[in-house]
Each structure stands twice: as C-alpha cells, then as structure tokens.
Structure 1
Amino acid sequence: MWEKNMPINEVREIRGKTTIFLGAGAIKKIFDIAKELKEKDIDKVAIVTGKSSYIKCGAWEHVEKALKENDIEFVLYNKVTPNPMSTQVDEATKMARELGAKAVIGIGGGSPIDTAKSVAIMTLYPDYTTADLYEYRFIAKKSLPVIAINTTHGTGTEADRFAVVSVLEGGKEYKPAIAYDFSYPMYSIDDPQLMLSLPKFQTAYTAIDAINHVVEACTTNVTTPYSVMLAKETVRLMAKYLPVALENGKDLEARYYLTYASTIAGICFDNGMLHLTHALEHPLSAIKPDLAHGLGLAILLPSVIRNIYPAKPEILADVLSPIVPGLKGKGEEAEEAAKGVRDWLKSVGVSETLSDIGFKEEDIDRLVELTFETPSLDLLLNCSPVPATKELVEKIYRESL
C-alpha cells in the first residue's frame, strides 16, 4: 500500500480553512508560529489545556520555550476536564481578559481545543457568559486567533469550526454545539509523537469518535461526494491502523495514520454535518460528564446504523466495507450492518451498553427530552436521513440499553 512510502517524519501542510502541520515532529512548528504571532504584534496569549497530559505528551516544553524565545507573555489555564463546562470557559476567559490576550492556544484533544475556541470568542464579549453563547442568547461576530495543538486522534476540531461545551448551571443538563466561520484555528499541529502515550481505552474511544463523524456526515440529507470520499478513507485507515495502535501504542506509523484519519474526518463533517449519533450522545455525557464521548457514541452506533441503513444502503455498504465486508447495499441488510458494526466495536475492546454505564429504562424519557430541548441539537436532528421523531430517538435509546 502507498502508506508505506509516505515519509511520516517529514512535516507536511494540509490546507483548508485551517493550515494543519501533520507529521512526526510537527510540534516544532510552534517556533515558527510564535515568531509569526510576534511579528503580527500578538505578544500576549492565553493557553488552555487539561490537567497534566500537555506536559506528559511533550507538547509543553516546546510551547513554553517558543513563547519565551519570542517574548510572548502568557497565562496558563490547565483545568479543562473531559466534556468541558461553561464555567471552565468563564474561568479561563477571565484570565485571558486580565492578561489582555490577543490569541488563544489550545493543547489537548477536543475538550481543550473546543474550550480554547470558546475562550477566543468570550474574551471579546465581556457582557455575556459562556452559557449565553451556547444557549444562543447572542450571536458572536468575532474571535481571537486560535492555535490548536492536537494530542488525540478523534476529535477533528483542529480542522473544523465546531466547538462543544456543557452548560450545567442552574440544574441544566445541556451539551450544545456552536459553529462559526471565524472559529477555524489559524494554525493546527497534528504530531503523532504527542499521541504515543495515549492509553489504550482513549486510543479506541477517540478513533470511534472519528468513525462516527464520517458515518453520520456521509449519510446526512446535506452530504456531498466530498464527504463520502473522506468517509471511505477514514474508515479504511481506522480499520487498518487502530488494531495496530491497540497492540502497540508506540507504533508511530499507526499513530500517524490514525491522526490523519481523524483530521479528514473533521473536515468530512465540517462539510457534511452530523445527525443522530451525536445528537443522542450529547444528553448522555451531559447527564454523566465523566462518560467518554467516544464510548457514548459507540454504544449508540449499532442502533443508529440499523435505523438509517434502509435510507442510505449504498453509501453505508461502501463506507463500512473495511469493518463490515460483504454488504451489498440493500435496505434489508440493516440488521446485518448493525451486527457487523457491533462485532467490530467488540474487536477493538468496546462492548458496553447504556445499562453497563449506569443508565436505566426510567432515564429514557429524560434523555429524549434533552435531545429535543438542548440548544443546537435540532440542527443535527434536521440533518438525519430519516425523520428524527421522538419515537425514533426513544427507539434508539431503548435498543442501546
């Protein structure tokens, strides 16, 4: 295969609305980025990250050195949790404003980078809270520049305009999304060397997130041939390299292609949008903030496949062929496709159900309510290839128990 002849140690540029530096050693591009920031009179930045992985993965030593060498003042907010909360964005925003930050750097997976995108907006809107932004009480018009240093291979947020933050204030259980054209990162770094220490469970969950991105994006009612093409390549690469990375997390080639697959998956749904799996997962991790996003998606995916397959059999048979071979693209294969996806998930170590993670039948009404009540999720539901009725949403939750 051609992958063997790709020089993964040479950093290459992927240009879209974001310029992405992909390759082993790409983290060193932060020195060029810092120099450019200073030349543009961006001499104060806010850094947003999690509690410790930014140090453990090796990113911080480069970032700190690059900023100091270019006399760029910075503040560090390192309290971002998985499924970040609006109150965390507010805390980080306060630090950014007090510094007078002119840009924001996010280091981590989806949670820190989405938080960085949110801080970059909220720093310019002192009269509002992050909850106001995510509950659409105002429409933002601008943002500070964002630099994304990605450390997981699942989110795709380093390549797209989306951000997700949970709003749990006042007894709410919302996990909405925003998407603005000014929220594309100025630069992103995708360095697989930063991912060599990803634990096995995170390796699986983040890859499953990318799989869900493309399965949804290629089957929305607004999809494009471009999204279908990216979806096919994402699933092929994930199917080939995820088992390798699970067997040996230090395999740099596997990490490189999982990173690339995740990135093009982000571009895929930036063009094709998402629908049921993400719309139904957001209430799960809003209620249980400790739930890994990728695990929640994995639990829902077989049922979503079963229920959408008759509407998009040709596309799904083609896209899923690396993990569910033999599908003919006929609507009556829905159960076979769902079982094949479930079997593949089990093969990468993910077999949980909603019951396994603590949800019960009596929780379903609340989950359905949140699916239709949470701001922004109606946009995803409206992209579903089949009518996203309350009955269908309830059915998917029940089948996932």
Structure 2
Amino acid sequence: MSVSAGKVPGHVSLVGLTRDELKDKLLAIGVAEREARMRVAQLWHWIYFRGAQGFDEMTNVGKSLRASLSEAYTLSRPEVVSEQVSKDGTRKWLIRMPSTGPLDKGAEIECVYIPETDRGTLCVSSQVGCTLTCSFCHTGTQRLVRNLTSAEIVAQLVVARDRLGDWPDATPPEGAFVPNDGSRFVSNIVFMGMGEPLYNIGDVVNAIDVMSDGEGLTLSRRRITVSTSGVVPQMERLGAEANTMLAISLHAVRDELRDELVPINRKYDIKQLLDACRAYPGLSNARRITFEYVMLKGVNDSDADARELVRLLKGIPAKINLIPFNPWPGSKYECSDWERIERFSEIVYRAGYASPVRTPRGRDILAACGQLKSETEKLRARARMMAEQGIGAEGVYAVGTGE
C-alpha cells in the first residue's frame, strides 16, 4: 500500500508552497491580482491548518474556482513508500518525492517522528543524501543526489500530520502518541535528518517560513532547530533570516580528530566554527546553542576531552547533548560504555553546562541519530523474508511497503 492523495498525472501539487508561490499559481489560472491575496489566505487555511486533501473540501471557495484549481493542480503529498514503527513508538517513513522528469524515478528520503511525554518531534531531511561523509554517520555513506525544495521539506510535516491524524477532527491511528493537553502531535521540528541544511539554506529558510506561519502550521521558531556540521559562512544568514534555534555537530575538541570525524573541519576549523557561534544572531542564555557530541568508545570520550570541551565553549551560552553512538552496518566505531558517558557528563555539568544524555530512539529500525539512509531495500527484503517464514520482527512492523 502507498499513500498519495488526489494525485493527477502531470499536475503540480500546491502542498508545501509559500504564499508567493500560491499567488503565482492562482494568477496562472486567471485569478485577478486584486483577488489573489484573499484566495491565497483561503488556500493557506485549508492546506496548512485543516490539512485538506481535495479542493472540494474548501467550502468557502466558489465552485468555479475549485473546478479551475482541480483542472490545473492537486493537493497530493509525496508517496509514503513504507512506515516502520519502533518498539519505543518512534516512527520512520520512507518518502518518495514526485518525479521531476523522465530520468527521475522520484527521490527517496527518510523522516522520523519521535513521541515523548512533553512533545512530539519530527526530524526532517533537507537533502537527498549528503556530501559531508562524516565517518560515524550512516547517512554520510550515501552520495548526494540533490537538494530538496522548500515545498518538499514542508511536505514532510504535512505527511507526518496525515499519518498521525494531527489535523482538526482527524482520528489518530492506533498506537499513535496523543498529547493530553490538546496540542498538536508534532510540536517540534529538528533539521537533523538527511543532508546538511546550510548547503540548502535558501530552501530551508523558505520552509521554516511556511512551517512557522501563525495562520497555518503554526510552529514556534523556538521549537525549530537547525543542525549544521559547521558551514560557517551561512550561519549568520540562518540566524538573521530563520531566527531558529541552532545546533552544532561538534563531536571532537581537537582539529586533527574532527578532521576525521567531520571532514568539513578541514575547511572551517574549530576556532572558526566557535567564533561564528559567538556571533550568531540572537544568541543569549534564553536562546542557547546546542552542541551535539557523539560518544565514541576510546576516541573522544576521555576526561581530558570533557575538560577541553568546557574550555572551548567558555563564554558561549550553550547546552551539550551527549549522544550515545548508534551502530549501523559496517561502522568501525563502538558506543562509549555507560559509566564513561556518565563521567563525561558529570565533568561538563560541574562546569555549569546542561549535559543531557540523549536517549537513543528507534535504533531497532535504524531511525536514531546518524542512522538515516534512504536505501531501505534491505529492510523491506528482510520484512518480506520474515513474513514468508512466519517470523515476527521483534518490536518492529512495516506498514505500506509500496507493493
């Protein structure tokens, strides 16, 4: 089973478009300039607040305009090829974008939903593949195919709300996390999926504008975090134009080690990166930078590493996320022992920095930090084999394998 609402071959979907793009689409089918602004507001409400999947749902839009919209456009979403649900409730979707031409079968990306007691976090991708080749990251083993458009980034949130029943009057699926305070299921967005967001900054900024619009998807910019491995020249632009929270994939305190773990360090070293952090627009104790630090056994987890981390971050309002390494097939690294992680955290905490240890989520479906990769054929093949042999996948089941 696959999911693709109201798809018409050759027609462009309006889902994910900015206000200006929607206006252009209306003008293209003959809507007058003076009328277009009002019509954009109507479309915006139905697409981004109500989650409409067909133009016939838009009861305050005239029949003739609805007919014109239906003839020219769709409200189709990218195709959900597969959904996997971890034993901890994490959901991972393999999403196929529409074909862009005869040689493009439709790029595939992965998107992850993480339910927690106080929030629902959606981890979105900004590129198909990645160029950074970080040695501990599974995504980095997949070559870059292309950037995602802003519409394709926004569509990941729309798809998530579809799958979770996270629209007014919608019914959530069995087993889905349902907040008890009446809030939306997806309350937080992290750009920590596939790709380096700052190598696609224009589309990322435009997507954030759509996601944070108060008349539609209504996510607070303080609940949107963009993670970068250190594309220093674009960090100021991100802060000035997107005004989101910033996360830095640091992972090492010495240039020679970071050169290996995060190769972009050879271009923008630790000093340049931290100088850019100190200059990040809006930086304050209320808007701290999160530094991500993956814990690799015998590589970057010593007491000396912890003390040097504290020294490097002096004067930067910061929180340090310690991330137990999430294994993936073929990796040469191991996760630090729990006692070592706790000792590292204690040194950082005593220096005055919050240093939570991130609970690994979705490891069993390769949905945890550093595990995303759109080549999921092996997982689907494994699921088919187990089904044929009558073997249950412990803690994991696949929904909608696209067959």
Kindly name which structure, 1 or 2, has the bigger radius of gyration based on alpha carbons: 2
If the length of structure 2 is used for normalisation, what is the TM-score? 0.33
Structure richer in helix, relative to its length = 1
Structure number with the bigger relative contact order (C-alpha 8 A, sep ≥ 6) is 2
If the length of structure 1 is used for normalisation, what is the TM-score? 0.33
Structure richer in strand, relative to its length = 2
